[in-house]
């Protein structure tokens, strides 16, 4: 496999800009959106496809590992994921060789991924599409966070802190971001992706593959707080979720029942606490 075929996070294009009835050709960058097929394997079992999502290439191994944890297919513990690698299936077309990854677990998952069969797929706007109720989401709840939560002053500063790390957004204006922060507001890891849920998967995967705790005092996201983002925070036991945008009713319901502190409309001037 050659690195020249590895897709990057953005693509250079020629575009036409129209301003004051004047057309001007120029170069622009748009965010890359390509499919990522995730396969799961454990001792004594062949690799099987469990999910396909549209994502921004980059940190693919983290995305796959984090997704497996959030879905309850792998525990959020060091060593649970034995390895992640691009698939070497000889039947893959050359332009797809970096779009298929296999997550190898150290043991069989306690819940088999039957709900994510070979026909399952998700768009870049789709998160935990297999979840159909708050009750089912609560079955993958991590231990409650008890190591301190950020103050309202820290919460108000998190969106600007996250924005300072959004390099792909600076170039394209087309990606979401997620970051894990301490109670003091220190960002431990930041990831970007065209899918908001993918960005959160990458954050958890980064911590897991680095051998660090996947839960934190606060998860901050650049967009709205949908149900799927609350579920991912709850699944690993993070203490609070801070969103720049609004939450949904189902997100608030799940946060309240799971004991997650949920903030929306966070900015330097104000923030609204919903749970």
Rounded Cα distance, 263 and 271, in Å:
7
Residues 173, 176, 181, 186: what is their CA dihedral angle, to the nearest 10 degrees? -10
Q: How far is CA 231 from CA 120, 134, 187, 262, in A?
A: 19, 9, 21, 12
Does the annotation count 87 as an active-site position? no
- Of 87, 126, 129, 218, the catalytic one is 126
Q: Which two tokens stand for residue 90?
A: 């000889």
Q: Classify burial at 213, counting beta carbons within 10 Å of its beta carbon; exposed 0-12, middle 13-18, buried 19 or more.
A: middle
Rounded Cα distance, 33 and 20, in Å:
31
Rounded Cα distance, 220 and 231, in Å:
14
DSSP 153: H
Residue in the block written with tokens 């901050």:
220
Rounded Cα distance, 91 and 7, in Å:
19
Q: Which residues are marked as active site?
A: 126
């Amino acid at each position: 496999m050659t690195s020249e075929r590895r897709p990057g996070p953005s693509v250079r294009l020629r575009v036409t800009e129209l301003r004051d009835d004047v057309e001007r050709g120029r170069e622009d960058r748009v965010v890359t959106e390509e499919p990522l097929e995730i396969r799961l394997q454990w001792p004594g079992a062949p690799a099987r496809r469990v999910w396909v999502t549209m994502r921004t290439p980059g940190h693919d191994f983290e995305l796959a590992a984090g997704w497996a944890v959030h879905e309850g297919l792998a525990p959020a513990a060091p060593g649970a994921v034995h390895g992640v690698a691009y698939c070497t299936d000889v039947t893959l077309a050359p332009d797809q060789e970096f779009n298929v990854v296999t997550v190898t677990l150290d043991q069989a998952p306690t819940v088999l991924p039957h709900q994510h069969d070979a026909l399952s797929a998700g768009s870049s706007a789709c998160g935990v599409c297999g979840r159909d109720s708050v009750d089912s989401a609560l079955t993958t709840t991590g231990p409650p966070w008890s190591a301190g939560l950020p103050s309202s002053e820290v919460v108000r500063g998190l969106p600007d802190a996250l924005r300072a790390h959004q390099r792909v957004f600076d170039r394209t204006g087309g990606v979401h971001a997620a970051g894990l922060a301490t109670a003091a507001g220190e960002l431990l890891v930041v990831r970007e992706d065209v899918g908001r849920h993918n960005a959160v998967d990458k954050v958890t995967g980064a911590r897991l593959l680095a051998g660090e705790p996947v839960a934190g005092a606060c998860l901050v996201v650049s967009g709205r707080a949908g149900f799927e983002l609350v579920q991912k925070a709850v699944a690993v036991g993070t203490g609070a979720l801070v969103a720049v945008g609004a939450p949904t009713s189902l997100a608030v319901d799940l946060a309240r029942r799971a004991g997650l502190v949920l903030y929306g409309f966070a900015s330097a001037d104000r923030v609204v606490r919903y749970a």
